[in-house]
Chain A
Amino acid sequence: MHKIGLIISREYLTRVRKKSFIVMTILGPLLFAAFLLIPAYLSTVETEVKTIEVLDESGMFADKFESSGNIEFVYVKTTLEEAKDYIPAGKHYGLLYIPPITLDSPGGITLFTETNPGFGIVRNVERSVKSAIEDLKLERSGIDKAVLDGIKTDISLNTINIGGDAEKTGSAEVASIIGYLGSFLIYFFVFLYGAQVMRGVAEEKNSRIVEVIISTVKPFQLMAGKIIGIAAVGLTQFLLWVTLTAGISSVIFAVTGQNNLSSIASVDESMMDEAVTEEANMGGGTDPMLMVKNAMDTINFPLIIGGFIIYFLGGYLLYAAMFAAVGSAVDSDADTQQFMFPISMPLILSIMVLGLVLKDPDGSWAFWLSMIPFTSPVVMMMRLPFGVALWELALSVILLIAGFLGTSWLAGRIYRIGILMHGTKINYRTLAKWMTMKQ
């Protein structure tokens, strides 16, 4: 045990003292904070107002287009040919040409611009034209717009989770964002640190230090010590990130004040569904900031963070053992590719099915994939924010533990032979032979 402790502390200290680790640890939270703050900043920046000339040959839309946001409409009386001539050189952004159309067949409306218009502008203009035509149609049917506005209602469904001890107001959006974050972090960490295990093992093998070491410790101890030491590096990085991100964010929020915070919330919402937010704001509905805050309160953060640590460790141990076996078998980095892909397949797969899991977090896909040890770390992180029955969680963790004990055992058998083998051609048959070989 003393020796394995020495190995762990060497693996840990040499990595934590590296410049790249320190840089990543500081840069990570800054990047996270930037992800939060840049959208907020951008939303406060006034974008340039673009003026669009309207040439209305149908005569239906006089003063019907409301200038909104960054688009201003100016009505002109000219011909299309003339306009086409002066638009490229003109001071206005473009020309919206409306041919003589009827309300029932509004085709052929064209936007002429000097440069290719951005997606946002096209959408804005489309929306203006659409709502103008709809208003006209309403008028034609004899419905007053004021009456219609009165009918419009803002509904935002509150979901209440009564599975737990107390009633909780939940939010599917917040839960899925947290689920995605957890899943991707596990995926990313398993790959990042799994690859470090593989490189570390290959370095020991190829620098030939390994023979000296295993004349004092068992090969399995060396492998386990390396895997555990690197796991500790990963956990250190994660915990530093959590603390630093929390620290940096709270400092920035304290400095910039509450305003930005609410604009961040509305920006986030607008990314999900712009129209809903607009209506919600217009109708003076629920304060989105309050909604996010309420939803955050329903997330059981100790469970999520605890779950993250357990599933990160379990998933990492499972995959790192296999990565270590690959590192021990190959003579050069180039040979690792053929083994890396099949090994990381289930991990990539579990990221690909996240959408499916999200659709129905309690469905059979979600259930089975969160039981299979190869996919459970990523998939279960997606399910956790939605609430998972205790027995499922327990079973999944037990299977994961069994899984990594299994892969470690198999990997250990390949490793003990592989680290001393040089110049052997490696394929799956050789690996299988090593597995069954006596020491």
Chain B
Amino acid sequence: MTFLRAENIIKKYAAHTALNDVSIDIPPQSIFGLLGPNGAGKTTLIRIITQIIEPDSGQVYIKGEKLNPNHTKLIGYLPEERGLYKKMKIGEHLLYLGQLRGLSKPEAKEKIRKWLKRFDLTTWWDKNIEDLSKGMQQKVQFIATVLHDPELLILDEPFSGFDPVNANILKDEILNLKEQGCTIIFSTHRMESVEELCDEIALINHSKKMLQGHKSDIKEQFKTHTFLLEHTQPIQSVADAFEVTDSSDLPGQPTLSTIKVLNGLSTNALLQQLMLQTDIKSFKERIPSINEIFISQVNQKQHA
């Protein structure tokens, strides 16, 4: 079951190919991290989903239905480069965007009040947009994005411009929306928020999809069979079993070693081997971070 499915999307511009046969599947009620270096084609993919541009070939389906103009009101889109009409008041601006997304005027008013209250901005209805700081404008933009209760939320760098306190408030709101059934496409370069929020990720590089899957599956796929070990006596590599790649030796502290397993040795067998050599203080498999996977994937492609 997928909420959104993009099949074999190709989009070419005069000088370059923005998307080359990209397919993604986004499960419902999940946070889907769309990752990739600058210029990889993420924005193009998002613009195709929001029907701002059309693919040269390929299809997008939302809940099994071909993408069509009726879908625009299911989608809330917060672009990376975003602005507001400077000469409008917050209330009327939100009202305008809410109505454009298909809300009736009274509905929109009610929802705006609710959201302003949630962000502690109840007195802001008549404030001029141009008097707001960047962070405050970002809040207004976020409200404008979620006002019409979209089923699909597309957030491109939602945290930029937020201080840590407000970023946390925003993060809670995003998780809250997911709880309520929202599917979220989340595009960012901040890997720590990907670790924190995303269920699924896809990595696009040079207009191609490099990988996609559940976050933990991808980590599993990219783990290097390396373990971190704290121990007291020195240890030696054992041929055909494991290799000690790194050892720190600080006086008065247990030694910290990195151990790479060879020939698919099981964890239990490894522990048995190690116990013969030393006392073990702690033992932990080293799981790669999304950041490491991202960098290794992008670099590998560049060197290839």
Contact = CB atoms under 8 A, between A and B. Distances in A.
Answer yes or no: do A and B interact.
yes
Interface of A: 3, 6-7, 10, 14, 203-204, 206-209, 211-217, 420, 433, 437-439
Interface in B94-109: 96-97, 99-101
B213 to A, nearest CB: 28
16 contacts: A203-B86, A208-B81, A209-B85, A211-B81, A211-B82, A212-B77, A212-B144, A215-B75, A216-B72, A216-B100, A216-B101, A420-B47, A420-B53, A437-B14, A438-B54, A439-B54
A439 B82 contact: no
Given A215-B77, A216-B73, A207 B99 contact: no
B286 to A, nearest CB: 41
A178 B47 CA distance: 52
B88 interface: yes
Contacts of B87: 14
B271 interface: no
Interface string B270-294: 0000000000000000000000000
B99 to A, nearest CB: 5
Nearest to B144: A212
B82 A212 contact: yes
Contacts of B78: 212
B54 A208 contact: no
Interface of B: 14, 47, 50-54, 56, 72-73, 75, 77-79, 81-88, 96-97, 99-101, 141, 144-145
A438 B85 contact: no
9 tightest A-B contacts by CB?
Answer: A207-B83, A208-B83, A215-B50, A208-B81, A209-B83, A211-B79, A215-B77, A216-B100, A216-B72
Given A420-B52, A433-B14, A439-B53, A212 B81 contact: no
B10 to A, nearest CB: 12
Given A215-B52, A215-B79, A433-B14, 4 more contacts: A211-B52, A212-B79, A213-B100, A216-B101
A3 B100 contact: yes
B100 A6 contact: yes
Contact of B72 (A211, A215, A420): A215
Nearest to B79: A211
A433 B13 CA distance: 11
Contact of A438 (B56, B79, B144): B56
Contacts of B77: 211-212, 215
A3 to B, nearest CB: 6
B175 to A, nearest CB: 23
B101 A208 contact: no
B217 to A, nearest CB: 31
B97 A212 contact: yes
Contacts of A211: 52, 77, 79, 81-82
A438 B13 CA distance: 9
A44 B14 CA distance: 72
B150 to A, nearest CB: 11
Given A215-B72, A216-B100, A209 B56 contact: no
Contact of A6 (B14, B54, B81, B99): B99
B82 A217 contact: no
A214 B85 contact: no
A333 to B, nearest CB: 16
Contacts of B145: 212
Contacts of B88: 14
Contacts of A10: 96
Contacts of B47: 420
A204 B79 CA distance: 14
Contacts of B84: 207, 209
B215 to A, nearest CB: 27
A217 B75 CA distance: 12
A6 B97 CA distance: 9
A217 B101 CA distance: 9
Nearest to A214: B52
A204 B84 CA distance: 8
B50 A209 contact: no
A22 to B, nearest CB: 15
Contacts of A209: 82-85
B143 to A, nearest CB: 12
A6 B96 contact: yes
A214 B47 CA distance: 10
Contacts of B54: 438-439
A40 B34 CA distance: 75
A207 B100 contact: no
A439 B55 CA distance: 8
Contacts of A216: 72-73, 100-101
A204 B77 CA distance: 17
A215 B102 CA distance: 13
A438 B12 CA distance: 10
A212 B77 CA distance: 7
A216 B56 CA distance: 21
Which of A206, A211, A217, A439 has the most C-beta atoms of chain B within 10 angstroms of its own C-beta? A211
A308 B85 CA distance: 33
A7 B96 CA distance: 8
Nearest to B86: A207
A423 to B, nearest CB: 12
B79 A208 contact: yes
B225 to A, nearest CB: 45
Nearest to B56: A438
Contacts of A439: 53-54
Nearest to B51: A215
Which of B84, B99, B100, B101 has the most C-beta atoms of chain A within 10 angstroms of its own C-beta? B100
Contacts of A215: 50-52, 72, 75, 77, 79
Contacts of B53: 420, 439
A217 B82 CA distance: 16
Contacts of A437: 14
B211 to A, nearest CB: 27
Nearest to B100: A216
Which of A3, A209, A213, A437 has the most C-beta atoms of chain B within 10 angstroms of its own C-beta? A209
